A and B are shown apart, each in its own frame.
Chain A
Amino acid sequence: MSRYADLLNLPDARGHFGPYGGRFVSETLSYALEQLDEQYTRLSACPDFQAEFDRDLARYVGRPSPLYHAERWSKRLGGAQIWLKREDLNHTGAHKVNNTVGQALLAKYSGKPRVIAETGAGQHGVATATVAARLGLKCQVYMGAEDVQRQAPNVYRMKLLGAEVIPVESGSRTLKDAMNEALRDWVTNVDDTFYIIGTVAGPHPYPKLVRDFNSVTGREARQQCLDSFGRLPDALIACVGGGSNAMGLFYPFLTDDEVAMYGVEAGGDGLETGRHAAPLNAGRPGVLHGNRTYLMEDEAGQILETHSISAGLDYPGVGPEHAYLKDIGRVQYKVATDAQVMQAFEDLCRIEGIIPALESSHALAYASQLAVTMTPDQHLVVNLSGRGDKDIMTVARLQGISL
């Protein structure tokens, strides 16, 4: 019996993971969240709904994604065998689509004709615009004005898909401000609008349902490990922004006590500089965007601006389930600095012929450090959460190249 058996029962009925999570919203949204909770509880127990979700994942997203043995890279490092869970091969190029396919189904069953989303890197925005197009739903995506600049290709992709991108000029003009604006939209249009949140954050039931929709990653990976090397892996590694790709990989392994887990936050210029996005490593508990979790904040409780090379990790909070997994010690949370991330990014391009997303490169960077402390008969699974095509402008700029 696992020491961690109770984790599978979380969150509780009110959305709490220990002291974290919950539903800290202004009253207008309470009813919509209660309805969503009820609807999700009903549909997730319904075989037809699950079958429809699985069919979309297979035929539209292209699942299952492969578990790829990065043999050359593993050999180079000379430690554990590194296996990559290839979420980058999904339709739209990241894990985000697992969740948007699921939430779009919920939107369809709720009968609401309009969806909204917040996005940082633009991956969630693209994944939302994609499913909205397919279901004929009107789609508006809030994106920090800063991110609109640095992720121009994804902005255009959303427009091609028929979505409207609304630049957010308030606050720090990044992901947290986009989320504020999406919440304000939802409060105003709650009758006809479904809010598709892009990570395991926000008010209950979002952290739970986004985790559930992403857990297909971990379920597949678990079986693929057994098929590929006849046992469970020694460790799992995933990057953590809001934490959806990490929860998706970790959740089906939580009660496998022998499997170690590492979440990797954005170390930016280094924790000591304060220029990072690592609330689990350097923040403290507080309340933002509808849940209690670790936050980057000043001593007066104001939310701080974050810094990361990757827009998708540039967020001052983190999903509440991660906060709890950290406190109880089930998952270890590490950081990778921008410099370490660039090194891992280049290594994967040159050695394995895969251009990874800068977000995912955080997981790769820590994997390369951990692998060398292990032996060649040990196995590491890394969530390669997305492909790096969207990041080539950023990387070129850092290399001093203009395209």
Chain B
Amino acid sequence: MTRIQQTFSQLKAQGRKALIPYITAGDPAPQHTLALMHALVAAGADILELGVPFSDPMADGPVIQKACERALRHGTSLRDVLQMVAEFRQTNTDTPVVLMGYLNPIEAMGYAAFAAQAASAGVDGVLVVDLPPEEGDELVPLLKSHQLDVVFLMAPTTQDDRAQKIIAAGSGYLYYVSLKGVTGSATLDVGAVSARVAQIAAMTDMPIAVGFGVRDGQTAAALARVSDGVIVGSALVSQIAELADRPVEIAPRLTQVLSEMRQAMDQRA
């Protein structure tokens, strides 16, 4: 069992749902990321999604675009991100870490080198936003051969035949995109999400986590009721943006926002 599978099966045994925060590595500067990862775990994160900054994040809204810009101003590279994960693993061997980003930095590093180094750094899963299963013939088997889970997105526009393909290609969990739009959008419709997630759940045993547009404990709790996990990104990253020049205040603020979601989710469970 991979660390991700273990996490979901433990949560299931406890009747709880996964809380999965996203932050961009290197934001607001690389020296802060490690402490923020530990703070998120302490505040109740079950899995961490760590964004790999990219110059052209075409699926992201303004909040995460700016996070990428802040991280890149400090030159945060994919190699640096792997280094951060390796350091995180020195004291935390339980919490899965999923890298989320775009394909080009991985192409630049080389698929084989990336797969090997990600595995040895202690990465558990990889989600490449602009890599649908059809284009994954080379990278996906390489990642799997290093026991890395490959997480794919599923969208409201995904029809059933494609959903089957995505289920067959993916592992770890499915990331259901709650809305048509970029990250950080504000038009999440819990009813529509519930209906579609239930249909997808009938096709697979893989856990389904829902993300995009989760802003508060109430939404997180509502989504937790109908899925196996909730991903929170822009709501955290916007706090980092606000405190970028007062970095000591970031960890306490993220702790506050995430704990509230944790509580709201656990109350409902």
Chain A interface residues (CB < 8 Å from chain B): 14, 22-32, 170-171, 176-177, 179-180, 183-184, 187-191, 285-290, 295, 297, 299-303
- Expressed in whole angstroms, the minimum distance between the Cβ of B163 and any Cβ of chain A is 10
Question: Does any Cβ of A come within 8 Å of B108's Cβ?
Answer: yes
Contact status A25-B157, CB under 8 Å: no
Q: Does residue B247 face the partner (Cβ distance < 8 Å to A)?
A: no
- If A26-B129, A170-B69 are given as contacts, then 13 extra A-B residue pairs at C-beta distance below 8 Å, sorted by A number, are A27-B157, A30-B132, A171-B56, A171-B69, A183-B58, A184-B59, A191-B180, A285-B107, A286-B107, A287-B103, A301-B104, A301-B109, A302-B54
Q: Which residues of chain B in 58-113 are interfacial with respect to chain A, using CB atoms and an 8 Å cutoff?
A: 58-62, 65, 69, 72, 77-79, 102-109
With A24-B130, A303-B55 known to touch, is A187 a contact of B182 (CB < 8 Å)?
Answer: yes
Shortest distance from the beta carbon of B74 to any chain A beta carbon, whole Å: 12
7 closest Cβ pairs, A-B complex: A301-B108, A301-B105, A28-B155, A300-B77, A27-B153, A26-B59, A31-B157
Specify which of B60, B62, B155 is in contact with A27 (CB 8 Å cutoff).
B155
Instruction: Report the Cα distance A23→B69, complex, angstroms.
Output: 25
Q: Is the CB of A23 within 8 A of B157?
A: no
- Closest residue of chain A to B109, judged by CB? A301
Question: Are the CB atoms of A287 and B54 closer together than 8 Å?
Answer: no
In contact, B104 and A303 (Cβ under 8 angstroms): yes
Q: Return A110 CB to nearest CB of chain B, in Å.
A: 15
Point out the residue from A31, A289, A300 that lies within 8 Å of B162, measured CB to CB: A31
Choose from A183, A190, A287, A300 the contact partner of B180 (Cβ within 8 Å).
Answer: A190
Q: Does B252 count as interface, using CB distance less than 8 angstroms?
A: no
Which chain A residues border B159 with CB–CB below 8 Å?
31
Alpha-carbon gap, A13 to B206, bound state (A): 30
CB within 8 Å of A: which of B170-203?
177, 180-182, 185
Summarize A's interface: helix, strand, loop or mixed: mixed
Size of the chain B interface, CB-CB below 8 angstroms: 44
CB-CB < 8 A to A295: which residues of B? 104
Neighbour of B58 across the interface among A22, A27, A184, A285, CB < 8 A: A184
B141 within 8 A of A: no
CA distance A210 to B221 in the complex (A): 46
Q: How far is the CA of A188 from the CA of B212 in the complex (A)?
A: 12
In whole Å, how far is B194's beta carbon from the nearest beta carbon of chain A?
Answer: 19
Using CB atoms, name the residue of chain A closest to B130.
A24
- Per the bound structure, the CA–CA distance linking A285 and B134 in Å amounts to 19
- The answer, yes or no, to whether B131 is at the interface (CB within 8 Å) is yes
Q: A28-B157, A188-B180 are in contact. Are A23 and B132 (CB under 8 A)?
A: yes
Q: Are A184 and B109 in contact (CB under 8 A)?
A: no
Cβ–Cβ contact B180 & A302, under 8 A:
no
Q: Are B135 and A288 in contact (CB under 8 A)?
A: no
Q: Which of chain B's residues has its CB closest to A33's CB?
A: B132
5 A-B pairs with CB atoms under 8 Å apart are A14-B134, A30-B158, A171-B69, A288-B104, A297-B108
A287–chain B nearest beta-carbon distance, Å: 5
**Residue pair B105, A302 in contact (C-beta under 8 Å):** yes
Interface: B47 (CB within 8 A): no
Residues in A with CB closer than 8 Å to B65 are 170-171
- Across-interface contacts of A301 in B (CB, < 8 A): 54, 78, 104-109
Q: Is the CB of B72 within 8 A of A302?
A: yes
Q: Which residues of B contact A288 (CB under 8 A)?
A: 56, 104
A30 and B162 contact, Cβ closer than 8 Å, known pairs A24-B130, A301-B107: yes
Closest to A302 in B: B55
Contact call A190/B130, Cβ cutoff below 8 A:
no
Q: Which residues of B contact A289 (CB under 8 A)?
A: 56, 58
Bound together, the chains give a CA A187 to CA B166 distance in angstroms of: 19
**Of listed B77, B158, B180, residue having the most chain A CB within 10 A:** B180
B152 interface hit (Cβ, 8 Å): yes
Q: Contact check, A297 vs B180: say whether CB atoms are below 8 A apart.
A: no
Q: Which residues of B contact A285 (CB under 8 A)?
A: 107
**A residues near B130, Cβ cutoff 8 Å:** 24-26, 287, 290
Shortest beta-carbon distance, B245 to chain A, in Å? Answer: 21
The residue on A at minimum CB distance from B181 is: A188
The answer to whether A287 touches B181 (Cβ under 8 A) is no
Nearest-CB residue, chain B, relative to A191: B180
Contacts of B23 in A (CB 8 A): none
